[in-house]
Structure 1
Amino acid sequence: MAEESATIDAPPPPERSPQLESAVDEETRALIVPDPSDLPPFPPSAVEANFARYFVADFLNPGHDQYVYRHPNGLCVVGLAPAHIALKEEGGITSVDFNVGKSDRSEMKVTGKRKRNAQHLQENSALCKVCTNGNSFVVRCCVKGSLLEINDRLIKQPDLLNTSWLSAP
């Protein structure tokens, strides 16, 4: 048996004029190379680029504003919002105590891929106690999850909370 092969004659591609080639190249270049005047003056910070920002106003008490930064992988960073009443007190924050309730949050050590020994917290669980000259304020978790770590620097340098969180390195 003889094998027959069928060929389909396709029409030749249309010829492109040099002007059309130039226009296509300019369009492609405009898509690939941005115009410097369209770029922002400074690139976004890692927090701005990678985290969704949420603010919890008056959480459980008036003036207890907090923020939550949520990463797409589920990690949440909880902190005091600039409008928190403790940051507006005269003299600022003087101490941070992670010994709240039954356990000292600063003593926990999380290990392994599955984050063993992480403390499971509810929305109203206390994270720490922030003290000013005359008052103390309990900072709550405000999201349900597991506590993986705390900022140890806050124990020795509580005045870090008094600095602007937007200008922090």
Structure 2
Amino acid sequence: MEGQNADDTTHNTAENHQPSVSISAEQQQQDDNSKARIKALPAEDEEEEVLRRLLAPDVANLPSTPPSAIESNFITYFAPDFIKPGHDQYVHRHANGLCVIGLAPGHVAFKENEGVTSVDFNVGKSDRSGIKVTGKRKRNAQHFEPNTALCKVFSNDAYYIVRCCVKGSLLEVNESLIKQPGLLNSSAEREGYIAIIMPKPTDWLKAKAALLSSEEYKNLKDAS
């Protein structure tokens, strides 16, 4: 009986201590979680600070004017004196590979009194405005070399040939310039663009090597 009572006492004692052990482990887990949350607070505060700066940036650090759609979506390159002196052109390169071609601010046509007075897409044996590209496969797209003529821009009695600048497929020309050539004088880098070309990646890398960045072009013009 004494042995049985001893066993019962030991068993009861073990049972009585089990809840205490369980509670201690639970408390320890809670303590660990609390410490983890405390340690995480600085990182959370830092994340909130970054988010706050994005949503409410310091006014002193903002540009005087917001970036244009061209500045936000394209990287601009320049081809100064392309083929002939004074024939400066730009290439707006989009992330999807498309290249928008147009007249750079330093183009000789803008130095005439009246600027550009008319635009003619009929060059040689082909009228570029008659090209109609359709579908995802860009059917009817013509493949041109960098020196291929896109159009002629007229200024008084003189005219200047605008070229592709990059090797690729001609997707469209800006037909609005036929009736509104003045767009070249007022907004050559946007509504007054000449054409859109899609080069192959390898052809673009070759063309890019010969182009200037915006800063390089500005420095070139400031020095001249």
Q: Same fold (TM over 0.5)?
A: yes
Q: Write the distance in 2 (CA, Å) between the matches of 1:73 and 1:144.
A: 16
C-alpha change, 1:167 and 1:137, in structure 2 (3 Å) is closer
SS of residue matched to 2:151: strand
* Equivalent residue number for residue 83 of structure 1: 106
TM-score, normalised by the number of residues in structure 2: 0.64
* Equivalent residue number for residue 30 of structure 1: 49
Largest Rg, 1 or 2: 2
SS of residue matched to 2:76: strand
User: Does 154-163 or 25-34 show the bigger shift?
Assistant: 25-34
C-alpha change, 1:157 and 1:84, in structure 2 (3 Å) is same
Q: Write the distance in 2 (CA, Å) between the matches of 1:94 and 1:13.
A: 75
* Unaligned residue ranges in structure 1 (runs of 5+): 1-8
Q: Write the distance in 1 (CA, Å) between the matches of 2:79 and 2:108.
A: 13
Alignment of 1:139-154 (within 5 A): 139-154=162-177
CA shift, 1:13, in A, is 4.6
The answer to whether structure 1 residue 162 and structure 2 residue 185 are counterparts is yes
The answer to whether structure 1 residue 43 and structure 2 residue 66 are counterparts is yes
- Would you say how many aligned residue pairs link Structure 1 and Structure 2? 160
CA shift, 1:48, in A, is 0.8
**What's the % identity of the aligned pairs?**
57
TM-score, normalised by the number of residues in structure 1: 0.83
* Equivalent residue number for residue 128 of structure 1: 151
Amino acid at match of 1:115: K
* Unaligned residue ranges in structure 2 (runs of 5+): 1-24, 193-224
Q: Deviations over 1:40-77 (max 9, x none)?
A: 45432221111111011110111000000011111000
Amino acid at match of 2:86: G
C-alpha change, 1:86 and 1:115, in structure 2 (3 Å) is same
C-alpha change, 1:87 and 1:13, in structure 2 (3 Å) is same
**1:96 corresponds to which of 94, 102, 119:** 119
**2:35 corresponds to which of 5, 8, 15:** 15
CA shift, 1:117, in A, is 0.3
C-alpha RMSD over aligned residues: 2.6
The answer to whether structure 1 residue 74 and structure 2 residue 97 are counterparts is yes
SS of residue matched to 2:165: coil
Amino acid at match of 2:102: G
SS of residue matched to 2:136: coil
More helix per residue:
2
User: Does 28-37 or 115-124 show the bigger shift?
Assistant: 28-37
